[in-house]
Amino acid sequence: MKYKNTKTGAIIDSPFKILGKNWVEVTDEKEGVQKTVEETAEEYVEEEINLEEMTKAQLIEFAKEHDIKVNEKDTKAVMIEKIAKVFE
């Protein structure tokens, strides 16, 4: 029997019954794959962020969250330039 994790989209094949709130049985492999693609497409949302409106502290935090190296001593304009380059 195949099971799909509704939270991660992972599909496993197990001879045992899988129980848990995030696991559902997949009756058709193509169906499971198609649902995974649809769910992934729905989850992706491009968000527009205005770096100019952020404070320097917010820019530093944003850079850390996205693994962008910025020097905390740089000016706000330099930080914005570095961050924007990564997303080009």
Counted domains in the chain: 2
pLDDT digits (tens, 9 = 90+) for 24-62: 888 765 554 555 555 555 555 567 888 899 999 999 999
Instruction: Supply the range of the domain harboring residue 23.
Output: 2-43
Co-location of 6 and 37 in the same domain: yes
Co-location of 34 and 67 in the same domain: no
Co-location of 38 and 19 in the same domain: yes
Co-location of 36 and 12 in the same domain: yes
Dihedral in degrees, nearest 10, Cα atoms 71, 72, 73, 77: 80
pTM for this model (two decimals): 0.49
Co-location of 9 and 26 in the same domain: yes
Taking 80 as the threshold, does the pLDDT of residue 74 lie above it? yes
Co-location of 56 and 30 in the same domain: no
- List, in order, residues 6 or more apart from 14 with CB less than 8 Å away: 1, 2, 3
